[in-house]
Amino acid sequence: MNVVEKLSGWRTGRRDCIAALAALGWAAGTHAAGNARAPVILVVGDSLSAEYGLARGSGWVELLRQRLAQDKIEATVVNASISGDTTSGGRARLAALLKAHQPTHVIIELGGNDALRGLPLKNTQDNLAWMTQRAQDAGARVLLLGMQVPPNYGGDYGRRFAQIFQDVARETKAALVPFFLQGVADGPDAARLFQADRIHPNAQAQPMMLDNVLPQLKKLLR
C-alpha cells in the first residue's frame, strides 16, 4: 500500500469514527430527553389548600391537576396541606416531604394561621425563608402564595404582614403570587364566595384561586 492509499484509508476511518461518535452522542441525547422527568408539584399549605369544608375533589389543588391535564402538561401534583397548619408546622414537615416526593416544584401556601394566632411576624418570615431555601437546595423551584389579613387587624400590621411574602420572594428569588385570594376576599361581593365561617372560601371561589396561581406556576414549568 502506498502513502496515498494509507492516507486515504486513515481519512475514511476517521470520518467513520467521527460519524459513529456523533451518532452515539445524538442517541444518548435523545435517550436523556426521552427520559426527562415529568414535573412533581408539591403543595404545602393549610386549610385553604386542604379542601376544608368542601366536597372532596373540589378544591383548587384538585382543579390544578385537572387543568394541567387539560392543557396537556404532564405533572404529578402532591397535596401535603393540613388544615390549621402554620409556617412552623410546614417547616417541621418539609424535609420529610422533600425526601419522600422529590418535587421539582414547591408551592408554599402558609402564613394565614400565623396571623390569626398572633404569632410574631419575624418568626413567620424566618420560617417561610427557611422553607423556600430548603426546597431550592433540594432542586425545586418555589412559588410563594402571599396572604393578607382583614382590615380589622390594623393598617400597619396588615402592610407588614403582606410585606413578608414580598421580602422572602425577593431575598430567595422565588416566584410570588402577591395575594392568593385576590378577587375573592377583596372583591365587591366577597360574602358570596365564603363559607358560613367567613374565613374559608367556598367551592365557587376555588377556580378563582387557581386562576391566581396558574400563570406564575406555568412560568416555572416552562
Q: Which residues contact 21 (CB under 8 A, 6 or more apart)?
A: none
What residues are labeled active site?
47, 197, 200
**pTM for this structure?**
0.84
| Contact indicator for 144, 169 with CB cutoff of 8 Å | yes
- Nearest by Cα to 48 from 207, 214, 199: 199
Condensed to tens digits (0 to 9), the pLDDT of residues 117-176 reads 999 999 999 999 999 999 999 999 999 999 999 888 899 999 999 999 999 999 999 999
Cell numbers for 130, please give them: 427557611
Q: Average pLDDT, whole number, for the chain? A: 88
Q: How far apart are CA 97 and CA 81, in angstroms?
A: 11
Give the model's confidence band at 191: pLDDT under 50 very low, under 70 low, under 90 confident, else very high: very high
Taking each helix axis as running N to C, give the angle between helix 87-101 and helix 121-137, from 0 to 180 degrees, rounded to the nearest 10: 10
